[in-house]
Structure 1
Amino acid sequence: MDIPLFGDAPNKRRREINLGGTHTATSHNDILQEAKLRRIQRDDQRRRQDAARRIQHSWRGYAAQRDVRRRLRSTFEQDITSLTGLRCLVLLGQDEEALARWSAVILSSRKDILAQSDQSAVVLLQRVSRMILRSVSKNPHSPHAQAHLAVLNALLSDNPARATLSRYLVSHGFYPSLRQAVSQLPVPAPKQSSILSPLATLLTAPLSIPDLLPLSLRELLLSVLTIPLLPNRLLPALGPFSVRLPLASLDLVPLDIINDPALSSIESKIHLLANLAAFTPPRYSALPVPAFAVYLQLCALLMNALPTHALEPPANRPDATKSWADGDDSDEEIDTKVEIVSSFEELQSLPQLDERTRKRLQTLPSPDHISTLLRASQNAKLTPTIISFCFALVTVWPTRRDKVLGTMVAYNRGSLVREVYRSYVRSSPLGRDESYSEITNPDYAAHWPPLLLLAELYTQALLTMGDDEFFSEGKNPDVPRNPLSLDELKVYSRKLLNIAFALYWREDAASAQESVPGLGQVKWENVRDKATKCLQALHARDSRRPFTTPEHWLVTAHMDMSTFIQAAILEEKQLSQPEGGRAPLLNKRQIAYLSPRLGVLNNIPFAIPFDVRVGIFRRFVLNDMQMRGVSEWRGRGTHRVTIRRDHISQDGFDRLGEVDLRSPIAITFVDQWGQEEAGIDGGGVFKEFLTSLCKEVFDTDRGLWLANKKNELYPAPHSYATESHSLAWYRFIGRILGKALYDGILVDVAFAGFFLAKWLGKQSWLDDLASLDPELYQGLIFLKHYTGNPEDLSLNFTVAQEEFGETRTTDLIPNGSNIPVTRENRLQYIYLVAHYRLTKQIKKQSTAFFEGLSEIIDPKWLRMFNQQELQILLGGVDTPIDLDDLRKHTQYGGLYDDHHLTIQLFWQVVNTFTQEERRKLLRFATSCSRPPLLGFKELNPNFAIRDATDDEKRLPTASTCVNLLKLPRYTSARVLREKLLQAINSNAGFDLS
């Protein structure tokens, strides 16, 4: 036969060959796509075959399993109560129907099966009990749950193998499973429930195994006592459950439980705290000391781990933190009346708590609970844990701080305060002069709670402590003894001063927001605030009636003063000249954050010498003048104002109400005939205007001001003073006094200390009431020390006041007329009465006054001083007049110079004057009898003497507006003395000639 050429088959199409030597692009792509498609088809076919094999395998396995389960079920049904039936039940797995059948049969006829103790049976019972537990946790309301619980209780109670079974279950999720079951119970629990009693019994079953108790109790705390509203869910069975709780063994639980992941959320910590508060307090007296100590420590750790305000009602978060000790009109931060920048703190997200949980937690800070706690902790070993507990409580729950602290202060007549200081604070390394800068050392963590709690306690005690008690040495049986002696207060206040200064002085402002080691959420800023508040209160007492030396409060040894002054001035200038516009008014905390030097000056100014602070104040004013382009009295922007001599106050109010008083003011007086008066324009006659204005507006007959027995002024508290036109006058007077401070003009007006405290944003104390109403003060002191039943005095939470012949009653708290004053709440009543009289009655007046004052004087400048120092800044220092200093800074005019005969005679005569006569002379010439604090170089304008006439029969006159004495040219010392004394004692008038 013929063989085809080139091996071609006879019927096969000959392959086409491209003799051109190349393939086209299209044919090449087709070949690649075809190869790819065939590969995909082969892979798909392989997957299909593999899937089919798996399906077949699974089906065969399922069929076999179904067959095995059918046989197992059949065997199980034939002999449920035998060991074989039990084994079949285990092999069947989580078969709810089989489990239910087994539990029912066992309970009805074969409970003995549960008591088997051979190893194989015990292993099977372990598996079955775990399966039953899962069934209950999945659905505690199922029809079979009661039988399951009964079986579990039988296995874990009267059973030879109960220890083995309990150990197995606890290590295999016993308590997490029960948590799941209990969490599904309704709230409140129904009165008739078939599962509550056995479920509550089961919760405590493993706790009866001694060697298992530590683990079981830990798991119970973490899984069960963290369930929200646990007592409400177990209510019908709550009594037996509570009795079986082994709270006496709490010391077996390590405190590192606080770091367990189960307590990672805020809510879990709060619910554990609430449940502990429900079950433990009724058993305080029966708890062994170790268990009680662990309970207190655990509660303290839980509270320390919570954000501040976490336990507060929503209405009190985060800014409604006022308590009765703060007052509902607290003046602690008077800056709130003006513009405030936002806080530097980031607010944490706080949980929403059920009202029942919140009510349960409210028992912790209640006076009854704190009293019970203190009575139960008489053992000295518990004092450190009580300190930690109470410090954590007042930190996390600020609105209840007064209830806790007030109860602790009053407990056993202050013995707790004394014990905390003498046992824990006195020997503390914190705040010592030689190591003040090491306070952030983590090794000192354990020393902080007692020191800070003592600061809180003593600050609270000072709210209602009179000076008679403060300085009491226990010799008078009718006056309680100060819990701390004056020597102890000196040591403690020095510790606080070193701590506060070190924390304000830290250059790294962000470190203030770091948490204190061992104190949970407490930050260094909180430590600084607590130390500062107590320190300020102690210094206020010392300022009014010294018990230390002036050097006690100074920290000049810790710094170079000249560097401090320059840095403070620079920092203030930077804060006063922000980029982009007007500087915001900052509160004390914000200033401390931005500027360490200003933080010291605004919070603990007494750490810096007074004369240094006055110099800094004058530099602040000078910087402000320069910033606004006013460096001299006759600077740019002088405002010229005409004032009628017989309408000084009204014209001043009308024409200076909206004028920028920081600019120079030129006053022109008009007499009663409408003629302008001639005057020496040393900046206008503004000083004379100011002196005359003060005489008018501070006249108590005008109705705006009242005077106490020391003739010190404070705003009138009656309703007339709170009307809009009166408040406008207070604002105007504040502006005018601000102008006097700004220009360094001394004003011969004395204000009551409690009113000056308002200028500085400070709290008024009970002892301030003595200067306002001595009778009321004595009555409150009597009530405080009254040994009988205060309810016999028939007092309630109201205050009566008389106005224009009518007496009206005001509630101190809501429904106060129906709340009697008792032994428990009398300190609150005393504080509220004092707060009402010292603060609330003059709240609007003080606010209006301060608004005007702060328009001229930056509030942070004023906060460099206390009340007494501010009075000196306003009216000069009440010290002997230094004639050498006065002569050194005296200017002469006309024919006079320092060598003129009359001037020589003048200084000889004045040198023979008594201090009272010298004050009268100074008042005659300058309108103020007190010299400036920093000497007569600060008198503005300087004291001056000018010749008046050669008529020696004329009396000397003065132009107080320019501090000018116009002295005739006397040639006899006797005549000069006689005329000068006659003039200053007869108050010879102002002379414009």
Structure 2
Amino acid sequence: MKHFPGSTKRQRNINLSGKSKPSSGLIIARGERARREAERQKVAAATKIQSTYRGYAIRYSVRRARRADWDRSVGFPAALPPTDYSDDSLALLLSFCDAADTEDVRRLVFIISAFHLDDEPSSLIGLNLAENSRHRLLVTRLFRVLLVAVSSISVRHATTLTQALRILSFLSCAITYFPDQADTTYFETITGLIDRGLIPHVSAFYPLETRTATLAIILQSIVLPLRPGIRANRPLAYTNFMQVFLTTASLDTNLFSAIPVSIFRKLLDIRQLLEAATQLRVDRLSPEQILWLLSYLIAFVYDPELPISSHHLALEDLISSHPLYQKADIARPLDSRTICGLLASTLNPILDAYGRKIRNQTSTPDRQPIVPSRAQAGLFVEFEEHLNPPEFVQRQLKILLETDFISNLTDGITWNWTTPSSSTQTVCIHHAAQRFTLHLLLYFRFLEQKLHNRLFLARSQDDMSLLATLYNQVQKTHTFRGGVAGVDAILDGLKLTHQKTGGTDPQSSEWTTILLFLDLYCFSNIVMDDEEFFTLGDKSLQSNQLRHLVDFLKNLAFVTYFEVSEIESQVSDEPLQQLFTKPIRVLQLNTRLDVAGIHGVSLPWIRNLAIRILRSLHRRDSRQKIFPDGFWLMKEINTEGTTHLIAEEEARQQELEQSRNIEESDSDSDTDDVAKTTSANSNIARRPNKRHERTLRHNYLAAIAPRLGVIQNLPFFLPFRTRVSIFRDFIRLDQARRGTGDRDLWRLSQANPFQDQPGTKSKHHGIIHRDRMFEDAYDEFYALGESFKEPIQITFVDSFGAEEPGIDGGGILKEFLSCVVQELCRTDTARSVPFFTETEDHTIYPNPFLLDELPGDCGKLENNSASDLQIAASREAMDLLRRIEFLGRIIGKCMYEGILVEVVFADFFLLKWSKVMLGNDDVGLGVDDLKRFDRSLWKGLQALKHYDEQTIKNLDLTFAIENILRVTDSRAPTGVTQRIVLVDLKPGGSQIPVTSSNRLEYIHLVSKYKLAAQGKQQTNAFLKGLSSIISPRWLSMFNQSELQTLIGGNESPLDIDDLRKNTIYGGIYTIGDDKQEHETIKMFWRVLKRLRESDKRAVLKFVTSVSRAPLLGFSSLNPRFSIRDAGSDSTRLPSTSTCVNLLKLPRYPSETVLEEKLLYAANAGAGFDLS
């Protein structure tokens, strides 16, 4: 009886006796079997070899015998070619002919001389081919053998080149009788010969007098299969010609250099060529092949008519007079407008395929991450052109813009196809013209500027600008009218796919019109200044039209941010309207490229287009009021109670990017040899996992990007106070991350003598003399770098060298920063040159001549060499740039601490703050911004736009600008000399005169130089310091005027009622159960309310060190404004503790005494001696 162990599994059989070895008998038997199997394989292999050899030998002998029989029957070789042939001799030749054998190729060339296929089709040969089935079958087989033979013939030798040309002549004539043989193999053979240098070798071996006839053979091999005769006989000839021949690279050098494109245009049926494109299998083509096909089609249709030589005329006559050539049907002449429509209709599906191919090559995770870089600040990258088109392709596309094609295309775009009289063809041409124009703008960035210029200047048949005509079409569409009212119509349209619509859906056509208008309108906003924009010409919109357009764009931008999952159709169907409160969804890596049913259009591209127009219009509105207050706000974006969540997402995104950079920069090596080997092996195994983790990280960042996208790119959708709250939340999170959120705890940790662990923060303390505030601050704190964010402690020293009393709880910091900021326009003590300079409006910006006026006092360096001068100047320049950088940190520290300072920066300088720091040098500054920089210069440039040619000539302007510099020189009587420096606005600009044709470029370059290029080093130094304290992405939430408010507060009068409501009382001033204020407190508020605005601000600064109210009101003042009693001595002045915003107010007997004492203390300027 077996014991049951409690488990039904079979027990393991453990044998401890070791593995037994096979006996010697088994080993011997196994070896015998292997030997017998080897013998059988040898016998079978020998039998197969003998069989193969016998078959080859028999075939060889049979072929040799047949060759001999055929040679005797036709007399090969003979001095003269045969005049006739029989079907039997042809069949015998085909039975043994080897296309790779040189002698057989000679036999083929010998026999085809007996054919007279170039006779009239009604000749005896033509009738035989048409009626005799055996004869036709034999000639067809001969045709295929000749294709193989000519593809292997070398064209480097005169003899074989002659053979190839004879075969080509036969094939080109035979194919007119066999139209079904004009397949891809035929055209691959022709292109193969051309690629192997057929034409250059013809030019080398044949003299000029016979070269024309030789080139005619090559030309007829291309043209005769495509003769415009009976189209039903060759339905696929043109399609195969385009599929193979017109996708071959470098035909421009290998073929068109000897046979001009104009000859092909005259000999081919262009209508049939364009119509055949509908049968193309473009999905089988590479992007490079599609580009070549595109360029050749344009060349066949629009290549400029150049004078051709008599040699080329003779070549054309040889083909047109060929018996087998038939001219095109002249009963259907094509006008330029019809050709334009046909070409646009033809190229649209080709460009669609090009877009798909490029997307497939650039959408892999390792090559193009979907996550935007920091430099793009939340903007997704537009569709990136993968290929750099060859020179010929670019030239043909540019030629297209220089012909009447653009005017015809404009006519097609502006046709009023909605009228009842519009034909189906008119409607198709209209849609094709708009799609083709949009495709050109999407796929070929090198055409963008020139095409935009042509379209911007184009006018319709009724003499309206294209922009105005497009807007009239746009506002009639159901999509636009629905998009003005809400987001549903926009969402439904963007969800369309090309697979469902085929690009012909009415709604997709409406989106084509809308996107084309938006792209052109975006360009017009760049080239039009405010004067042109507000003149209400036919290129500008009226106020009600602008309102409708902005309403549509606001809803469009909202959808592209918050309905990504709906449009991409690759994630959950849940909409993103609750994005700020919903958990994160993971997006797919690939982005759709057929949004709205249009190939090449992606959601990021549409979003970027809407953002650029909205930001441009918002800037114009900030310069000159267009829309009412509150117009830009979007109520659909509700951030109430979620600003801290937005700030957390920003912090999380920043940490993820930082961790990614650290991870990518880390090395996987180890110092231990064994560990190195193990690590190397494990890294190979972990590589797919790392790629997977990187993809997940990309997905995660792409999912959370919309939460910050609106705030960073369209901040004016949210109220200013909301954005200020988010800004403060950004800072609070940054402080928490750095461990400085609680200042008291941080200071306590610095005062702890036992906390000496490595890596802990050091206490930042500085002794500042009031008579050299900036220099001491620079010496004490410049070396801190980014650590300048952390709390610092200040000890002031008065003019007598005594330390001022006061507890540095934050109030002294306010005093310190405010005093340093006041020195922004100070003159450098060493060189008497200010760091900042003022505009006519008394706004400041970095002095553009600060570095240009180096090397300084030439008298002091007169004994030094030129290299010493350069070294001294370089060191002085670096020192000045470091000081400007420190001034940027000071402003950043004020914003970081929430301290308002009384300094006003120039608008054009503030515009650079977020864009330049985010890596975007093109900040969009133009002639309109020059108005605030130099009004007289702006007026002169505006006048230049309206001068006639003679007046401009009299001004003697060139593309250069003069700068007058003041250089310190001790040898000069006044100690200063002037130096004039001429700066070219473009290469060789001083030699290029300004004319009426290039004055707009001159105005643009002058504006760009004055506002961007001049003083760029000083600006970048300041912004470098600012960005070390304040993240550029935080600043991107505000425009210029809002940034100024963030720095200096509102200019509006102080709200005393708000201050009173948010004041805390201490001592006997504490409000009791009766809720009544103390009599002294009542007197204080009555006095404060009737003071002048300047005195009110002086009192506020006396208590808080800042003369302006907090941006979020006095409720956000931290700590709160407080008043505590200071005894009953009426002769005592009020005192303060600015570190806690505390006013120590004695109990005065009357309002008069209180006002006198309060104003005296507030205006005493005694530092912290009254504290």
Give the shorter-chain TM-score range: 0.7 to 0.9
| Mapped partners of 2:245, 2:950: distance in 1 | 45
In the alignment, is the contact (CA less than 8 A) between 1:307 and 1:521 conserved in 2?
Answer: no
In the alignment, is the contact (CA less than 8 A) between 1:718 and 1:803 conserved in 2?
Answer: yes
Paired position in structure 1 for 2:973: none
Paired position in structure 2 for 1:300: 351
Paired position in structure 2 for 1:711: 842
1:768-809 deviation digits (Å, cap 9, x = unpaired): 221112233334444556686998576544333332243323
Q: Which has the larger displacement, 831-840 or 511-520?
A: 511-520
5+ residue gaps in structure 1? 1-23, 312-317, 320-332
Paired position in structure 2 for 1:545: 624
Match of 2:394 among 358, 361, 364: 361
Quote how far apart the aligned CAs of 1:216 are.
2.2
Q: Aligned pair 1:487/2:547, yes or no? A: yes
Pick closer, same or farther for the CA change 1:926–1:567 going to 2, 3 Å: closer
Pick closer, same or farther for the CA change 1:106–1:39 going to 2, 3 Å: closer
Q: Aligned pair 1:411/2:589, yes or no? A: no
Paired position in structure 1 for 2:734: 624
Give the letter for the 1:526 counterpart. W
Give the letter for the 2:276 counterpart. V
Pick closer, same or farther for the CA change 1:559–1:644 going to 2, 3 Å: closer
Pick closer, same or farther for the CA change 1:703–1:211 going to 2, 3 Å: farther
| Mapped partners of 2:404, 2:931: distance in 1 | 31
Q: Which has the larger displacement, 210-219 or 657-666?
A: 210-219
Pick closer, same or farther for the CA change 1:685–1:808 going to 2, 3 Å: same
Give the letter for the 1:259 counterpart. V
In the alignment, is the contact (CA less than 8 A) between 2:398 and 2:447 conserved in 1?
Answer: yes
* Sequence identity (%): 29
Match of 2:788 among 634, 643, 661: 661
The 5 A counterparts of 1:17-56 are 41=39, 44-45=42-43, 48=46, 51-52=49-50, 55-56=53-54
Q: Aligned pair 1:596/2:703, yes or no? A: no
Paired position in structure 1 for 2:640: 561
Q: CA RMSD in A?
A: 4.6
Quote how far apart the aligned CAs of 1:149 are.
4.6
Paired position in structure 2 for 1:164: 177
Pick closer, same or farther for the CA change 1:43–1:582 going to 2, 3 Å: closer
SS for the counterpart of 1:800 is: strand
| Mapped partners of 1:237, 1:707: distance in 2 | 67
Pick closer, same or farther for the CA change 1:26–1:236 going to 2, 3 Å: closer
Give the letter for the 2:878 counterpart. S
Match of 2:766 among 627, 636, 641: 641
Paired position in structure 1 for 2:530: 467
Give the letter for the 2:131 counterpart. Q
In the alignment, is the contact (CA less than 8 A) between 2:199 and 2:258 conserved in 1?
Answer: no
SS for the counterpart of 1:669 is: strand
| Mapped partners of 2:705, 2:541: distance in 1 | 41
Pick closer, same or farther for the CA change 1:624–1:174 going to 2, 3 Å: same
In the alignment, is the contact (CA less than 8 A) between 2:892 and 2:1027 conserved in 1?
Answer: yes
Quote how far apart the aligned CAs of 1:836 are.
1.9
| Mapped partners of 1:936, 1:109: distance in 2 | 100
1:16-39 deviation digits (Å, cap 9, x = unpaired): xxxxxxxx9767876786677567
Quote how far apart the aligned CAs of 1:97 are.
0.6
Match of 1:196 among 205, 208, 215: 215
Quote how far apart the aligned CAs of 1:685 are.
0.6
Paired position in structure 1 for 2:1036: 863
| Mapped partners of 1:469, 1:247: distance in 2 | 44
Paired position in structure 2 for 1:905: 1083
5+ residue gaps in structure 2? 1-21, 77-81, 305-334, 416-425, 502-506, 565-575, 665-697, 751-762, 855-876, 917-922, 967-977, 1072-1076
The 5 A counterparts of 1:86-125 are 86-91=90-95, 93=97, 94=99, 95-104=104-113, 115-117=126-128, 118-120=130-132, 121-125=135-139
The 5 A counterparts of 1:140-539 are 141=155, 143=159, 145=161, 149=165, 163-165=176-178, 167-171=179-183, 173-185=185-197, 194=211, 195-207=214-226, 208-209=228-229, 210-211=231-232, 215-234=236-255, 235-238=257-260, 239-255=262-278, 257=280, 259-261=282-284, 263=285, 265-282=286-303, 285=336, 288-298=339-349, 300-301=351-352, 303-305=354-356, 307=358, 357-358=390-391, 360-362=393-395, 364=397, 369=402, 373-379=406-412, 380=415, 382=429, 384-398=431-445, 401-412=448-459, 415-424=465-474, 427=477, 429=479, 433-435=486-488, 437-438=491-492, 439-442=494-497, 449-474=512-537, 485-502=545-562, 508=585, 510-511=587-588, 513-517=590-594, 523-539=602-618
SS for the counterpart of 2:725 is: helix
Quote how far apart the aligned CAs of 1:653 are.
0.8
Give the letter for the 2:925 counterpart. W
Q: Which has the larger displacement, 763-772 or 516-525?
A: 516-525
Q: Aligned pair 1:651/2:776, yes or no? A: yes
Paired position in structure 1 for 2:812: 685
Quote how far apart the aligned CAs of 1:232 are.
1.5
Paired position in structure 1 for 2:897: 743
1:733-768 deviation digits (Å, cap 9, x = unpaired): 111111111111111111112211221116233222
The 5 A counterparts of 1:2-81 are 41=39, 44-45=42-43, 48=46, 51-52=49-50, 55-77=53-75, 80-81=83-84
1:387-424 deviation digits (Å, cap 9, x = unpaired): 43444334334455333334433434992233334324
Quote how far apart the aligned CAs of 1:676 are.
0.5
Quote how far apart the aligned CAs of 1:907 are.
2.0
| Mapped partners of 2:720, 2:141: distance in 1 | 81
Quote how far apart the aligned CAs of 1:887 are.
0.9
Q: Which has the larger displacement, 908-917 or 593-602?
A: 908-917
Q: Which has the larger displacement, 917-926 or 633-642?
A: 917-926
SS for the counterpart of 2:188 is: helix
In the alignment, is the contact (CA less than 8 A) between 1:197 and 1:237 conserved in 2?
Answer: no
Give the letter for the 1:402 counterpart. Q
In the alignment, is the contact (CA less than 8 A) between 2:892 and 2:1026 conserved in 1?
Answer: yes
Pick closer, same or farther for the CA change 1:493–1:47 going to 2, 3 Å: closer
Q: Which has the larger displacement, 173-182 or 127-136?
A: 127-136
How many pairs were matched up? 933
1:30-75 deviation digits (Å, cap 9, x = unpaired): 6786677567656755664565455445433432333233223332
Pick closer, same or farther for the CA change 1:213–1:429 going to 2, 3 Å: farther
1:328-387 deviation digits (Å, cap 9, x = unpaired): xxxxx9966xxx99999999996687xxx3254145258953885245542335554444
1:884-905 deviation digits (Å, cap 9, x = unpaired): 2111223456765572333312
Pick closer, same or farther for the CA change 1:37–1:633 going to 2, 3 Å: closer
Give the letter for the 2:841 counterpart. K
| Mapped partners of 2:894, 2:635: distance in 1 | 30
Paired position in structure 1 for 2:1169: 992
SS for the counterpart of 2:851 is: helix
| Mapped partners of 1:223, 1:511: distance in 2 | 36
| Mapped partners of 1:931, 1:585: distance in 2 | 45
| Mapped partners of 2:28, 2:360: distance in 1 | 75
Give the letter for the 1:174 counterpart. Y
Quote how far apart the aligned CAs of 1:693 are.
1.0
| Mapped partners of 1:427, 1:615: distance in 2 | 40
| Mapped partners of 1:956, 1:447: distance in 2 | 72
The 5 A counterparts of 1:834-849 are 834-849=1007-1022
1:168-225 deviation digits (Å, cap 9, x = unpaired): 3213722222121222227978756644332123212222232356522222222111
In the alignment, is the contact (CA less than 8 A) between 2:825 and 2:834 conserved in 1?
Answer: no
Quote how far apart the aligned CAs of 1:855 are.
1.8
Paired position in structure 1 for 2:909: 755
| Mapped partners of 1:578, 1:289: distance in 2 | 52
Q: Which has the larger displacement, 357-366 or 763-772?
A: 357-366
| Mapped partners of 2:732, 2:745: distance in 1 | 13
Paired position in structure 1 for 2:1054: 881
Paired position in structure 2 for 1:136: 150
